Amino acid sequence: MASYEPILLRNRGVEGSRTLKVYESRGGYQAVRKALKMTPEAVVEEVKKANLRGRGGAGFPAGMKWSFLPKDRKVTYLCVNGDESEPPTFSNRVLMEHDPHQLIEGVIIAAYAVQAQVAYIYLRVEFHEPFHILQRAVDEAYAKGYLGRKVFGSDFSVDVYVHRGAGAYVCGEETGLIESLEGKRGWPRIKPPFPAIEGLFRKPTIVNNVETLCNVPHIIERGASWFTGVGPSHSTGPKLFCVSGPVKRPGCYEWSMDITVKELIEDPRFGGGMRDGKKVKCVLPGGISMGALSASELHMKMDFEDPRKFGLLGLGTAAAVVLDESIDIRIVLRNLARFYAMESCGQCTQCREGTSWMHKIAERIARGAGRLEDLDLILQTARNMGMMPGLSICGLPDGATYPIETVVKKFRGELEERIRAQFPEKTEVSLAVVG
């Protein structure tokens, strides 16, 4: 692999990296000064040229999203999605803990580009330390005149608030986040209208992920042509990757999106290989909601396009969960199904009932009471859910079904072998929930 200069994580490990003084000493807040000399339209156009795709999971172009705002709007809000509820993703947390001013600079530039008067940084409630780190950084920026009235002496003003949600997976979806910000139950809204037209407090709103906005200062400072020169043409710019499981060096790493899953696991600069001579059985490369790879599919590139060639929903959060050969795939199936059954908001019938039934079936299989027909039944349940069939308000059921479908399809042989090896009397258990 070629060499790579860290961009997003350049300040990680630097003493005092959380402070404004150190951030500025390393070139911080120069990009925002440059942006404020440009027109808001020019900033939007530069981000569009860079083809910055959202890092929160969907991969939608950020600049295009900004351009959806109505021209005659009088009030605009910017919401920063720091909920990071996708297991086992922690790249946003690393950014906020080690370099909070990088995020604040990105927020100011984005707010200027979309002419937002108020920005909310939404964190999951469990992020106690990142909340206090980020709040101190916001306070520093206010004290220096970088936030509030006439930022950096310009005619632009913006207020930034750090808000902690009540904690729910579905609040990672932008309208669920907006509902939570408004003090309501965190569940998604029916769309249209989309947030760019009617979002927070029914006003035009842009929702961007933490990592997405951390890229913005570097695009403005270095230019769109630099950004498009990093990584493949359809997946440009620096990217953070998480790797966890029985690898030697679990953690958060930065590289371009031409890296493969195998390199992320085995390269000594990243995962460093498997511990104790274990072999890879399965990898969930994009968080758990994108689906699973078998050991023969580790050549997949961690970009926005290649995962679909392997039957996955997409790149997701680029957080790889590595499972070794000792793992019983039935337990993996049960844990995946249980998570989504617990996290469904219950608003859509097919998601509420579908995730629940997938969990019941997977639980029965894991407890040694499964039947061969259960594998077809769980796949049939999965196919009758989601935005893809046009049945649900948000994408949670799609995220719930892809890991179930890919695990069953790619590891069906093992699942059938496990079911056949059960005690004969246990295979006769009915569809009733095993207590």
Query: Distance between alpha carbon 430 and the CA centroid of its chain, in Å?
Result: 38
| pLDDT of 433 above 50 | no
pLDDT (average), residues 115-125: 96
Check whether 435 has a pLDDT greater than 90: no
Residue type, 307: P
Give strand pairing partners of 280: 324
Give one word for 51, left, alpha or beta, with left for phi > 0 and alpha for psi -120 to 50: left
For domain 238-324, the CATH architecture is Roll (3.10)
Task: Tell me the mean pLDDT in the region 399-412.
Answer: 96
pLDDT in tens, 4-51: 899 999 999 999 999 999 999 999 999 999 999 999 999 999 999 999
Q: What average pLDDT does range 115-130 have in this prediction?
A: 95
Q: Are 81 and 122 in contact (CB under 8 A)?
A: yes
What are the DSSP calls for 91-126, one per residue? HHHHHHHH-HHHHHHHHHHHHHHHT-SEEEEEE-TT
HSE-up of 40 (CA within 13 Å, CB side)?
15
pLDDT digits (tens, 9 = 90+) for 328-341: 999 999 999 999 99
Across the chain, what does the average pLDDT equal? 94
**pLDDT at 293 (0 to 100):** 98
For 221-250, give one letter per residue: b (16+ CB within 10 A) or e.
Answer: beebeebbebbeeebbbbbbbbbbbbbeeb
Contact between 186 and 179 (Cβ < 8 Å) = yes
Task: Judge: domain 329-428, CATH 3.20.20.30.
Answer: no
Q: Was domain 20-228 assigned CATH 3.40.50.12280?
A: no
Q: What is the DSSP letter of 53?
A: B
Number of neighbouring beta carbons within 10 Å of residue 326: 10
Amino acid identity, position 10? R
Residue 312 predicted with pLDDT over 90? yes
SS3 state of residue 174: helix
Cα(340)–Cα(78) distance, rounded to whole angstroms?
Answer: 29
Handedness of CA 207, 213, 215, 216 (dihedral sign): positive
Vertex 305: Cα angle to 300 and 310 (nearest 5): 45
pLDDT at 434: 41
Alpha helices in 144-193 (DSSP H): 174-181
Domain residue spans in the chain? 20-228, 238-324, 329-428
pLDDT recorded at residue 423:
63
- Of the chain, the percentage scoring pLDDT greater than 70 comes to 96
pLDDT digits (tens, 9 = 90+) for 406-432: 999 999 999 999 999 986 554 444 434
* pLDDT tens digits along 78-111: 999 999 999 999 999 999 999 999 999 999 999 9
Q: How far apart are the first and last CA of the chain?
A: 51
